[in-house]
Structures are given as structure tokens and as C-alpha cells.
Amino acid sequence: MADKEYFAHPTAVIDEGCSIGAGSKIWHFSHIMPQAVIGENCIIGQNVYVGNKVRLGNNVKVQNNVSIYEGVICEDDVFLGPSMVFTNVINPRSVVSRKHEYMKTLVRKGASIGANATIVCGNEIGEYAFIGAGAVVTKPVLPYALVMGNPAQHAGWVSEYGEKLIFDKNNIAACGKTCEKYRLENGKVVKLKNE
């Protein structure tokens, strides 16, 4: 690994057999397991665990004290806030081995998960969804949805930039920062193409 194209702090443990993309940075006391795949230009904060068979896309930001267990897949541009939690077994018991029962959790492109949120396994977080700090997600989250609370409840919609969307009488909203437009139809948000 002498010609590696990524940075790893000397205290990080990088197991043989993992894959780490160019430009990625792995900070203090983090552990990357053998079959983990980390894309390009990712940032893995301090005290992060990336388990076997976990896949992180490009430009994923993982803040301090996050454990990403087997069964989790994060697409490009995902943000995982400090101390947020993934689970991978629905009914864990200390004396019962359930390693063959790991459930898949999929975090789609551009989604953000706030600090101390918990994502119960087996759920999909839609593209550009925003999970509020401390939320407990127990069911799938739609693309562009804002969810908060315990259990997490729908609290609105957000743009790809992360701004809350306010829809007019025609069910059209514009991001306050980028002016990109979105339509709400049949309980789902779609981004409109530039006209």
C-alpha cells in the first residue's frame, strides 16, 4: 500500500483487502474492515468503523463516532452526521448468532442523516432526503423528504441544496438558494428540468 492515493492517519486501522478510492481521508482511530469499499474523495472522521461488505460511494462524509455495519450501502454524496447509528439486525440477542440475518439498508445519493439519528435496518433513505438530528427512522423515507422525531415523521420537503421547500397552489416550489424548481405530485417530489 506504499503508493496509496488516499490519506490515512497513523492511528487508523486499514485491513488488507478493503478498497479505498483516490483522494479519500481516514482520520484518527478509525477502522476499515477487509471487504469494505470506500469511493473517491470520501472523508471518514475520527473513531469511525466501516464493516465488511459496506459500500460507500464517492464524496461520502462520515462524521466522528459513526459505525457503519455490514448491510449498509451509501451512494454518492451522502452525509452521515456525528454519532448517528445504523443497525443491521432487527432483533439482536447476545446469545443468538444472527450474522446470517443482516438486513440491507440503502442510503440514496445526496441524502443527509443528522447527528445522533438512528436508522433501523431494512429501510431505504431516498435521494436527497434529510433525516433530522436525533430522529429514529423505522420505515422507508421518500426522496427529498424531511423527517424528524422518534419515531421519525414526515415534516416537509427539501431541495438538493438542503433548503426547505414551500409549494405554491400549483404544487411548484423553488429552492431559495439555487432557484431550482420542484413539483409535488401524488405525495412525491420531483425536480423539474431547466426550461
* Each residue's pLDDT expressed in tens, for the chain with a length of 195 residues: 445 799 999 999 999 999 999 999 999 999 999 999 999 999 999 999 999 999 999 999 999 999 999 999 999 999 999 999 999 999 999 999 998 899 999 999 999 999 999 999 999 999 999 999 999 999 999 999 999 999 999 999 999 999 999 999 999 999 999 999 999 999 999 999 975
How far, in Å, CA of 155 to CA of 73, rounded?
25
Q: Residue 133 sits in which domain range?
A: 7-91+100-164
DSSP state of 93: B
How far, in Å, CA of 74 to CA of 171, rounded?
30
Q: Give the max Cα distance, the chain.
A: 59
Domain for residue 174, yes or no? no
How far, in Å, CA of 71 to CA of 102, rounded?
6
pLDDT digit string (tens) for 160-176?
Answer: 999 999 999 999 999 99
Does residue 6 contact residue 23 with C-beta atoms inside 8 Å? yes
Domain for residue 136, yes or no? yes
* DSSP H helices in 4-57: none
Looking only at the bridges linking them, the beta strands covering 153-157 and 7-8 are unpaired
Domain for residue 193, yes or no? no
Domain for residue 169, yes or no? no
Domain for residue 180, yes or no? no
Domain for residue 182, yes or no? no
How far, in Å, CA of 68 to CA of 18, rounded?
14
This model's pTM is above 0.75? yes
Q: What is the CATH number of the domain that holds 30?
A: 2.160.10.10
How far, in Å, CA of 114 to CA of 26, rounded?
20
The pLDDT of residue 3 is 56
Percent pLDDT > 90 in the chain is: 95
**Into how many domains does the chain fold?**
1
How far, in Å, CA of 17 to CA of 34, rounded?
5
Domain for residue 189, yes or no? no
Q: Can you spell out the DSSP letters for 100-160?
A: GGPPPEEE-TT-EE-TT-EE-TT-EEPTT-EEPTT-EE-S-B-TTEEEETTTTEEEEEB-T
The pLDDT of residue 88 is 94
Domain for residue 1, yes or no? no
